[in-house]
Amino acid sequence: MKKIALLPVLLFVPFFVFLGMAGAVKTSQSKAMTEEKHPANPYYSRTDTTKLDLPDSVWKKVLPPDLYEVARHAATERAFTGKYWDYDGIGTYYCAACGNALFSSDAKFASSCGWPSFFETARRNSVIYRKDTSHGMVRTEALCGRCGAHLGHLFDDGPPPIGKRYCMNSIVLDFEPERKVR
């Protein structure tokens, strides 16, 4: 008798169907938005602390019109309209005109005034001050310590123990979320 070699018949398990179904699961790696985009502004830097003394015509060229009006002409955004008055992200606020570090979110507090409010600056010289007698008031104007951009005003009605309130325009602030350091 002939010995029949039984060739094992492979079971055609629908492998490929499985492969197709389980295939390439996209891991959408959300890139941390760490790069601020200031393509038109070569003076913007988060690391260079050299003071900037640029003519108005240069700022007009490198800043978006709405930022330019606040930063260089002390315009004020309407209360409750800025992007940061009610924002409580953890990170650092930089000058939107030059990249100078201004405030930590740790120093931000909920104020009912409609503008982002802080009780202290990120660094001692983050902000400089000037007496402002416009609009029939005597106020302390707060300006960027690096580029002189108008930021807002400083008042003495902040929370204890410091008692200060930096009342800022959102548009002159660039917020950078805190990076996770391992």
Which residues are marked as active site? 167
Q: In whole angstroms, what is the distance from residue 99 CA to residue 47 CA?
A: 8
Closest to 84 measured CA to CA, from 181, 177, 182: 177
Q: Select from 11-19, 27-35, 90-98, 150-158 the region that touches Zn ion (CB under 5 A).
A: 90-98
Of the ranges 16-24, 124-132, 140-148, 161-169, which one interacts with Zn ion (CB under 5 A)? 140-148
Judged by CB, which is closer to Zn ion: 146, or 164? 146
Q: Which is nearer to Zn ion, 8 or 42 (CB)?
A: 42
CB distance 113 to 104 below 8 Å: no
The answer to the question of residue 100 lying near Zn ion (CB under 5 A) is yes
Q: How far is the CB of 143 from Zn ion (least distance, A)?
A: 8
Residue with tokens 């502004």: 41
| 150 in contact with Zn ion (CB under 5 A) | no
- From the list 15-23, 39-47, 138-146, 156-164, the region that binds Zn ion by CB under 5 A is 138-146
Select the residue interacting with Zn ion from 67, 98, 101, 168 (CB under 5 A).
98
Say how many residues touch Zn ion, by CB under 5 A: 8
Q: How far is the CB of 139 from Zn ion (least distance, A)?
A: 20
Q: Letter for the amino acid at 40?
A: A
Does 117 help bind Zn ion (rule: CB under 5 A)?
Answer: no
Q: Which amino acid is at 87?
A: Y
Question: How do 127-132 and 139-144 pair as beta strands?
Answer: antiparallel
60 close to 70: Cβ distance less than 8 angstroms: no
Rule CB under 5 A: choose which of 67, 107, 149, 171 binds Zn ion.
Answer: 149
Backbone conformation region of residue 62, classed left if phi is above 0, alpha if psi is from -120 to 50, else beta: alpha
Say which amino acid occupies 6.
L
Q: How far is the CB of 49 from Zn ion (least distance, A)?
A: 10
- Distance between CA atoms of 143 and 153, rounded to whole angstroms? 8
Report the interface residues with Zn ion, using CB under 5 A. Answer: 95, 97-98, 100, 144, 146-147, 149
